[in-house]
Amino acid sequence: MKTIATVLGARPQFIKAATITRAIRQTEGLREVLIHTGQHYDDNMSTVFFTDLMGQAPDHNLHISGGTHGAMTGRMLEAVEGVLSQVRPDMVLVYGDTNSTLAGALCAAKMHIPVAHVEAGLRSFNMKMPEEINRRLTDHCSDLLFTPTDTADRNLANEGIESGKVHRVGDVMYDASVHFGKQAAEKGELLASLGLKDRDYILATVHRQENTDHPDRLGSILDALAAIAKEIPVLLPLHPRTRAKISATGLDQLLSKLTCVEPLGYLQMVEAERSAVVIATDSGGVQKEAFFHKVPCVTLRDETEWVELLDSGWNRLVSPAQGSKAIQNAILSARGVAGAAVEPYGLGDASDRIAQVIRAYLA
C-alpha cells in the first residue's frame, strides 16, 4: 500500500481535492493522509468543505493562518516537516498556488519525497502576485505535473521542464462541477432565502491582495457594484479578510447597497453561480466555474491565467485601475453574452487519470 500525503489549506484546494480524494479511495494500492495547514480556518471557509465534499475531517490540522507571507510559509514548512517525518509518505500531493502549496512542495523536495502538483503550468506572468511565485517554484520542484490545458503544457516546456514529468489530464474543477452540480441543484435553497430570482442578479467575489490591499482599486470595485445594484441586485459573499480591508479603508457604507453574505459553502456557491446572469470576480477558480455553468464572466484583474476563456468569449478582463465606470460598463454589457462552444478543460475525468498516473509512478 502506497501512502500519499495531501497538503492543502484554502477553499479552492478543498474543492479540487474532493474529487481526487474520491478517485484515490477507489484506486487499489493507494491510501491518502490529508494535511490541512489551516490557511483558511473558519467554518465557512474550511470545515463545511471537508464535511460536504470529502465526508471526513483532515487527518492533521496544523492551525496556521495569518501573518506575512514569509512568516506563514515558514511556520507551515516547519509543521509540515514534522507530519511528513511521522507519516513517511511515498508521495506528497499539492494543489494550485497558495502558501500551503509552496510549503508542502518545498518541504517534500528537501526531504527527497516525490511531489505531484495538480493545476501545474498556469502563468499570469505577473511576478508581483504571490500566487505566481508559488506556482512557479512548485512546478520546478515537482516530479509529476498535472496540467489542465495545452497552454499550461507550453508554459512548462518554455521553462525547460522535462516533458516526461508533464501529464495533461484536464481540469479537476470541471470534475467537481460535474460531480457536485446535481447536488447543488437539488438543494436550491439559497436564492429563496436571499429573495433573489434566477438569472436576475450579479454574483461578485473579491479577495486577491492586488485588489483588497489597494484602497483605490477596492473602492472602484465597490463603487461599481453599488451603482450596478441600482439596476440589478448584486450578491457579494465576503471573505473575512476582504471585509476587514473594507472596514479599514472606510468603504463600509457601500456594502449597504449590496446583498452581502458570509462565504458560501461549495454547494451553495455552485447554486449562486448557476443562477447568476453575470459573475464578476478576481478568483481564478470562479472564472472557470462560470464557464462550466455557461454564465458570462468579468475578471477584475490586470491579467488572467485562463486565457482560453478570453479567447472563446466567455470571459473579459477589466482592470480596477481603469476606475468604477469601466467596471460597471463591463459587467452590465456582459449580460446575455455567450462565448464559443469549446471544451478546453477535458471530459470530467481528470481525477481518475491523476490517480492512475500516481499509481503507475509509485509502482
Question: Is residue 240 predicted with pLDDT exceeding 90?
Answer: no
- 3-state DSSP assignment of residue 92: strand
Q: State mean pLDDT over 260-275.
A: 90
Could you read off the pLDDT of 63-95 as tens digits, one per residue?
A: 998 889 999 999 999 999 999 999 999 999 999
**CATH code of the domain covering residue 118:** 3.40.50.2000
Could you read off the pLDDT of 106-144 as tens digits, one per residue?
A: 999 999 999 999 999 999 999 998 999 999 999 999 999
Lowest pLDDT segment from 56-70, 159-173, 314-328: 56-70
> Has residue 176 been placed in a domain?
no
CB 287 within 8 A of CB 309: yes
Per-residue CA distances from 332 to 170, 218, 294 (Å): 31, 19, 17
> Has residue 66 been placed in a domain?
yes
DSSP states of 138-194 as a string? Answer: HHHT-SEEEESSHHHHHHHHHTT--GGGEEE---HHHHHHHHHHHHHHHH--HHHHH
Identify the pLDDT of residue 213. Answer: 93
Mention every residue, 6+ apart, whose C-beta is less than 8 A from residue 153: 121, 147, 166, 168
- For residue 282, report the phi and psi dihedrals to the nearest 5 degrees: -115, 15
Identify the pLDDT of residue 312. Answer: 96
Distance CA 161, CA 192 (A): 50
Helix%, strand%, coil% for the chain, nearest 5: 50, 15, 35
C-alpha cell belonging to residue 315: 470571459
> Has residue 31 been placed in a domain?
yes
> Has residue 136 been placed in a domain?
yes
Distance CA 270, CA 324 (A): 27
Could you read off the pLDDT of 285-314 as tens digits, one per residue?
A: 899 999 999 999 999 999 998 999 999 999
More confident residue, 354 or 14: 354
Question: Is residue 239 predicted with pLDDT exceeding 90?
Answer: no
> Has residue 340 been placed in a domain?
no
> Has residue 25 been placed in a domain?
yes
Question: Is residue 327 predicted with pLDDT exceeding 90?
Answer: yes
More confident residue, 181 or 174: 174
The whole domain housing 84 covers 2-171+346-362
- Say how many domains are in the chain: 2
Identify the pLDDT of residue 49. Answer: 61
Alpha helices in 61-123 (DSSP H): 69-87, 99-110
> Has residue 178 been placed in a domain?
no
Measure CA 22 to chain center: 19
Order across the sheet with 234-237: list the strands.
259-261, 234-237, 202-205, 278-281, 297-299, 315-317
Q: Are residues 150 and 195 in the same domain?
A: no
Distance CA 212, CA 306 (A): 21
Output the pTM of the full model.
0.84
Q: Are residues 108 and 207 in the same domain?
A: no
> Has residue 181 been placed in a domain?
no
C-alpha cell belonging to residue 301: 484583474
Q: State mean pLDDT over 157-162.
A: 98
**Catalytic positions:** 207
Identify the pLDDT of residue 41. Answer: 58
Q: Are residues 36 and 145 in the same domain?
A: yes
The beta-strand segments (E) located in 197-318 are 202-205, 234-237, 259-261, 278-281, 297-299, 315-317
Identify the pLDDT of residue 273. Answer: 95
Could you read off the pLDDT of 335-350 as tens digits, one per residue?
A: 999 999 999 999 999 9
- 3-state DSSP assignment of residue 27: coil
* Residue 326 burial (10 A CB sphere; 0-12, 13-18, 19+): middle
Q: Are residues 209 and 95 in the same domain?
A: no
pLDDT tier, 27 (very low <50, low <70, confident <90, very high otherwise)? very high
pLDDT tier, 42 (very low <50, low <70, confident <90, very high otherwise)? low
pLDDT tier, 321 (very low <50, low <70, confident <90, very high otherwise)? very high
Q: Are residues 12 and 148 in the same domain?
A: yes
Identify the pLDDT of residue 342. Answer: 93
Task: DSSP letter for 321, please.
Answer: G
Measure CA 310 to chain center: 18
pLDDT tier, 57 (very low <50, low <70, confident <90, very high otherwise)? confident
More confident residue, 74 or 182: 74
Q: Are residues 12 and 152 in the same domain?
A: yes
Q: Are residues 205 and 166 in the same domain?
A: no
Q: Are residues 25 and 166 in the same domain?
A: yes
Question: Is residue 96 predicted with pLDDT exceeding 70?
Answer: yes
The residue count of the chain comes to 363
Percent of the chain with pLDDT over 70: 94
Q: Are residues 148 and 214 in the same domain?
A: no
- Per the prediction, the chain carries an average pLDDT of 92
More confident residue, 267 or 25: 25
Q: Are residues 308 and 263 in the same domain?
A: yes
DSSP states of 113-141 as a string? Answer: --EEEETTT-----TTSHHHHHHHHHHHT
Could you read off the pLDDT of 194-237 as tens digits, one per residue?
A: 999 999 999 999 999 999 999 999 999 999 999 999 999 999 99
Identify the pLDDT of residue 77. Answer: 97
Q: Are residues 163 and 20 in the same domain?
A: yes
Q: Are residues 274 and 141 in the same domain?
A: no
